[in-house]
Amino acid sequence: MNRKFKIAAWIALVFSGPCLLAQQVDEIQTGLTEPEPLTITNPMIDGESVALGPTSNGKFELHDVEEASRYDSLWLRELHKNASLFSDLLLEVSNPVELDSGMVDLPTDTLKARLARMNEKTPFNIAYNPSLESVIKSFLVRKKDLMQRMITASQFYFPLFEQELDNHDVPLEIKYLAIVESALNPRARSRVGAKGLWQFMYSTGKMYGLDVSSYVDERHDPIMATKAACKYLSKLHEIFNDWDLALAAYNSGPGNVNKAIRRSGGYENYWNIRPFLPRETAGYLPAFLATMYIFEYADEHGLQYKKAERAYFETDTVHVKNLITFDQISKLVDVSQEELEMLNPAYKLNIIPKVKGKEYALRLPKSKIGKFVANEEQIYAYAKKELDSIEKPLPQLTTANDQIRYKVKSGDYLGKIAERYGVGVSQIKQWNGLRSNNLRIGQRLTIYPRKPYIPQKTVAKNTTSKSSSGTVASGSKVHTVQPGDSLWTISKKYPGVSVENLREWNGLSGNNLKPGTKLKLCDCSS
């Protein structure tokens, strides 16, 4: 079947024009400690010095040449509603409900004719079958409101998707897959840990170049994740040479699709192997095709595009050169934190970090980008001055070499571990994606310590202790390994010394000991 692609217009991601600098602002009259306004020079205003600081109402007035229009908050609320729809759609895909065919005005013959017309212009194998009809009618009855919201929210994401899909020679209809995957919620997270618009697992995301750290998770970034999804889907199509099977493999993995092919007796058509696929995957392609149908025939089913006066996708990006928080950006550029979080979902702690060798971008409404760029140096200077004035500064960024992997032991709890390494409980939870305070023995935690953990020195308190090596003097810091010694027997000879202590203090990974080896009985380095 011939593929037919349309070239998607990349809408309005254009850099703003020249900007005027901030006006002179009033000093804030509060009892709180505020960083002093910074004196800056604007070459566009005859070298006149002005101060960058908040006005009496606590806001900053950085003006652009063209007065920014009011942001349409209805769009922001519309997209935020999608977060609660993710689980509903996933449930519908996994557990489709059979409906009375009379509940929706869609005669089977009409549906067959429409599906045939769709099949003519797509590389997917779209043919009528009762299962697909059931899912379409279920969506139109049970999820009509959800589909209306998807049509509305798609006006932000679809131009972005179409651009990347076209760049990678992937069918543009794949854009509907993100609705099935995440209900267009960039912060969606599945019960098994898949994240973002395209629901990448950690390992698959890393395989396709998505960076995940304590501060950033690019699985949540719409552009980066879409690029990765295009690469992954292209590879799956290269393997199966069929877009239906590629989508099934995207959901459940190539291994499960291969198993289904074998169990079906060698069939390679999705509908023939469908009974042998995992339950969720069996509903996956029908949900994708049903979504495509509803978008194609929205008008016929009373679903309308609700266009705003100023399109939400009129945004642009700027590369950030220094550490800055969403709170600071919100105050300086007059964009709400809620809006910043929606436009920049990859930043886990609402902090854009500065890391050597990495480039991080800030996405803002187009009308605000000029303010940031025209005042960039002064904004960074103000942010740094404000951060330096805080009594308890933000956690310092650390390199990979500064992190530790802590193994949870019996008796551990988050507060105890946090105190040991000088960090907060909330930080440990954020670094490890924990939703509760529950820990399990043996669990590995990534920690970026603010202080080194120095175990308490323990030495033998008994004045004498008989062993195979003779009497050990009080305060002895070394044990000489004798034939028959083990870590367990040695630990029993010295109160307060555990097997784990011996391993840690002597750099041991196993249990084998060589006679004559000198073992430290304390953390003698401190």
Q: What is the pLDDT of residues 425-459, one digit of tens each?
A: 878 888 887 877 888 888 888 888 865 555 544 33
β-bridge partners, 166: none
Task: Provide the percentage of residues in the chain whose pLDDT is more than 70.
Answer: 70
For 477-507, the pLDDT digits (tens) are 788 888 878 887 887 788 777 777 787 777 7
Determine contact, residues 316/363, Cβ cutoff 8 Å.
yes
Domain 400-447 fold is: Membrane-bound Lytic Murein Transglycosylase D; Chain A (3.10.350)
Question: What is the widest separation between alpha-carbon atoms in the chain?
Answer: 96
Residues of the chain with CATH 3.10.350.10: 400-447, 466-520
- Secondary structure of residue 70 in the 3-state scheme: coil
Q: Rounded to an integer, what is the distance from CA 267 to the centroid of its chain?
A: 37
Distance (Å, whole) CA 518 – CA 42: 69
**pLDDT surpassing 50 at residue 393:** no
More confident residue, 145 or 71: 145
- State phi, psi for 124 to the nearest 5 degrees: -80, 150
Determine contact, residues 90/199, Cβ cutoff 8 Å.
no
The per-residue pLDDT for 101 is 52
- State phi, psi for 212 to the nearest 5 degrees: -130, 120
pLDDT interval class at 267 (50, 70, 90): very high
The per-residue pLDDT for 292 is 96
For 55-67, the pLDDT digits (tens) are 555 555 554 434 3
DSSP string, 276-343: GS-HHHHTHHHHHHHHHHHHHTTGGGT------SS-TT-EEEEEE-S-EEHHHHHHHHT--HHHHHHH
DSSP string, 389-428: H-SSPPPPP--GGG-EEEEP-TT--HHHHHHHHT--HHHH
108-120 and 284-296 are packed helices; what angle lies between their axes, rounded to 10 degrees? 90
CATH of 73-301, one of 1.20.120.160, 2.20.28.10, 1.10.530.10, 3.30.2130.10: 1.10.530.10
CA terminus-to-terminus distance, the chain: 72
The per-residue pLDDT for 89 is 58
Determine contact, residues 121/171, Cβ cutoff 8 Å.
no
> Which is nearest to 280 in space by CA: 139, 180, 361, 209?
180
Q: Please check whether the domain covering 466-520 is classified as CATH 3.40.140.10.
A: no
Determine contact, residues 316/13, Cβ cutoff 8 Å.
yes
- Secondary structure of residue 135 in the 3-state scheme: helix
- State phi, psi for 347 to the nearest 5 degrees: -90, 110
Residues of the chain with CATH 1.10.530.10: 73-301
pTM over 0.75: no
